[in-house]
């Protein structure tokens, strides 16, 4: 226990130290051709901030970019396995070993290579910004809860204290307000680890997404792949814990006229579709909520630059209003962060409850 805790602590600190060691030496010969003022495009600005990236951008000043380079791992159909730091791309301006970050088109912002004059995506398992942020948050999560668990074993039978007393009401909330009512007193225990993990993972990442600085600022729960994995887990667990009653409900729905099931199995088809739409909706809901929140915040920030281009004074004036709106949105997002974690967990628990419900 103790060694695991220490290991996590070390990994976490190394990760934060790496991210703090941010400055990139290649900035010295940053691109001189970008000196001329580019027109500010709010669409691209917002997308670049929401989308995943190969480096962790911290700030740009004039044409200096400060970012944390992250490993790019690609397997090309032509040239095979490659692994290098994203700093080789010089913030997306250079190509390296035939790979470059597409600036336009279908693969905008992704690593591509040119094969026969076509842009082709290699098999890309790069540790992108979202992957690294997700890993950091997981280390953080493990660190918090393993230390809380240790506190429970160390202070057996005593009142909770410190982090333990902060987490206990939340854990009890997930158990008593989500798992028990949705799944039932008898079977809820089996699902508690998963429900607690997704609840805290989603909440923590939602919150970290609101923090603009490293190691926050990555849009992890607003990434469709991340929410997809969470939904896939819910789907797998639901499917595997489905009892006879659950499958009967899907393939031979009781209380429905027979001609809806035979000869055309309309009801079974609809029910079967429901099996897949449930996790799909989970995936989309979390992704859309978080992404939309970020988009609104970024849109308010964009307003400053749009007005700033018209006249600097107008930009300053707008910034006051924009910042106020951003503060308001961030407050709202704090709430949304918790609500979305709650909703995802609650719905997952409801699906598990449906899958394990006994015939009555």
Partner 1 sequence: MGLVTPELGTFIWMFLAFAIVLFILKKFAWKPILNALKEREESIEDALRSADRAKEEMAELQADNERILQEARKEREAMLKEAKEMSSKIVNEAKQKATQEADKLVESARANIESEKSAALNEIKAQVANLSVEIAEKILRQQFADDQQQKEYFKKLMDEVKLN
Rounded to the nearest 10°, the torsion over CA 16, 337, 289, 339 is 150
According to CB under 8 A, which residues from 26 to 55 bind partner 1?
47, 50-52
Q: Which of residues 272-311 bind partner 1 (CB under 8 A)?
A: 287, 291
Q: Which is nearer to partner 1, 11 or 256 (CB)?
A: 11
- Given the complex with partner 1, which of 125 and 321 has the nearer CB atom? 125
Task: List the one residue from 58, 101, 133, 226 that touches partner 1 (CB under 8 A).
Answer: 226
Q: How far is the CB of 29 from partner 1 (least distance, A)?
A: 29
Binding residue (CB under 8 A) for partner 1 from 85, 224, 256, 292: 224
Regarding 106 and contact with partner 1 (CB under 8 A), the answer is yes
Residue closer to partner 1, measured from CB, 287 or 307: 287
- Rounded CA separation 324/314 (Å): 16
CB of 125 to partner 1, least distance (A): 4
Q: How many CB atoms lie within 10 A of CB 172?
A: 10
| CB of 46 vs partner 1, minimal distance in Å | 10
The span from the CA of 22 to the CA of 19, in Å, is 6
Q: What are phi and psi of 60, to 5 degrees?
A: -125, 135
> What secondary structure does DSSP assign to 2-64, as a single string?
HHHHHHHHHHHHHHHHHHHS---GGGGG--GGG-SPPPP-HHHHHHHHHS--SEEEEEEETTE
Burial category of 67 from C-beta neighbours within 10 Å (exposed 0-12, middle 13-18, buried 19 and up): buried
Q: Which is nearer to partner 1, 64 or 97 (CB)?
A: 97
| Cβ-defined contacts of 185-191 (< 8 Å, 24+) | 187/356, 188/349, 190/241, 191/237, 191/241, 191/349, 191/352
The answer to whether 156 contacts partner 1 (rule: CB under 8 A) is yes
Residue 124 touches partner 1, criterion: CB under 8 A: yes
Kindly state the DSSP code that residue 177 receives in the 8-state scheme: I
Residue 226 or 329: the one with the smaller Cβ distance to partner 1 is: 226
CA distances 237 to 179, 253, 352, Å, are: 14, 22, 7
Stretch that binds partner 1, among 16-24, 30-38, 63-71, 104-112 (CB under 8 A): 104-112
56 sits near partner 1 (criterion: CB under 8 A): no
In residues, how long is the chain?
A: 360
Binding residue for partner 1, selected from 18, 31, 173, 225, defined by CB under 8 A: 225
If the CB atoms of residues 143 and 342 are measured against partner 1, the closer one turns out to be 143
Nearer to partner 1, 225 or 253 (CB): 225
Binding of partner 1 by 15 (CB under 8 A): no
Under the binding rule (CB under 8 A), the answer on residue 171 touching partner 1 is yes
Residues 189 to 218 in contact with partner 1, rule: CB under 8 A: 189, 192-194, 196-197, 201
Q: Is 107 in the site for partner 1 (CB under 8 A)?
A: yes
Provide, rounded to whole angstroms, the least separation between the CB of residue 309 and partner 1.
25
Considering the rule CB under 8 A, would residue 12 count as an interface residue with partner 1? no
In whole angstroms, how close is the CB of 59 to partner 1 at the nearest point? Answer: 23
Q: Which is nearer to partner 1, 202 or 267 (CB)?
A: 202
CA angle 131, 134, 136 (to 5 degrees): 110
Q: Which residue has the tokens 């849109």?
A: 299
Q: How far apart, in whole angstroms, are the C-alpha atoms of residue 70 and residue 200? A: 26
Asked whether 286 and 227 are in contact (CB, 8 A), the reply is yes
CA atoms within 13 A on the CB side of 162: 10
Residues in touch with partner 1 (CB under 8 A): 1, 4, 47, 50-52, 73, 106-110, 123-128, 130-131, 134-135, 138, 141-142, 145-146, 148-150, 152-153, 156-157, 168, 171-172, 175, 189, 192-194, 196-197, 201, 223-226, 228-230, 232-233, 287, 291
């Amino acid at each position: 226990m103790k060694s695991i805790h220490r290991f996590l602590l070390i990994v976490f600190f190394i990760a934060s130290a790496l991210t703090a060691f941010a400055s990139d030496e290649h900035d010295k010969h940053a691109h001189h051709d970008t000196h001329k003022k580019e027109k500010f495009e709010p669409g691209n600005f917002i997308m670049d901030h929401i989308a995943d990236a190969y480096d962790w951008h911290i700030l740009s000043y004039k044409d200096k970019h400060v970012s944390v380079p992250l490993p790019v791992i690609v397997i090309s159909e032509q040239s095979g396995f490659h692994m290098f730091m994203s700093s080789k791309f010089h913030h997306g301006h250079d190509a390296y070993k035939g790979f470059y970050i597409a600036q336009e088109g279908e693969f905008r912002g992704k690593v591509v290579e040119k094969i026969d004059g076509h842009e082709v995506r290699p098999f890309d398992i790069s540790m992108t910004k979202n992957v690294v942020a997700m890993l950091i948050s997981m280390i953080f999560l493990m660190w918090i809860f393993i230390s809380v668990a240790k506190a429970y074993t160390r202070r057996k039978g005593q009142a909770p204290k410190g982090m333990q007393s902060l987490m206990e009401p939340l854990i009890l909330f997930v158990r008593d307000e989500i798992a028990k009512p949705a799944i039932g007193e008898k079977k809820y225990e089996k699902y508690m680890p998963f429900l607690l993990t997704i609840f805290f993972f989603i909440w923590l990442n939602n919150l970290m997404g609101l923090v603009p600085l490293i190691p926050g600022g990555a849009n992890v729960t607003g990434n469709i792949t991340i929410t997809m994995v969470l939904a896939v887990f819910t789907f797998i667990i639901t499917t595997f814990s489905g009892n006879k009653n659950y499958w009967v409900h899907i393939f031979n729905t009781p209380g429905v006229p027979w001609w809806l099931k035979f000869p055309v199995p309309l009801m079974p088809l609809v029910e079967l579709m429901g099996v897949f739409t449930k996790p799909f909706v989970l995936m989309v809901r979390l992704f859309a909520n978080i992404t939309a929140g970020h988009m609104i915040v970024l849109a308010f920030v964009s307003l400053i630059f749009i007005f700033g281009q018209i006249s600097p004074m107008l930009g300053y004036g707008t910034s006051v209003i924009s910042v106020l709106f951003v503060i308001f949105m961030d407050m709202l997002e704090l709430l949304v962060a918790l609500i979305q974690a709650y909703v995802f967990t609650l719905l997952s628990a409801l699906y598990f409850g449906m899958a394990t419900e006994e015939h009555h």
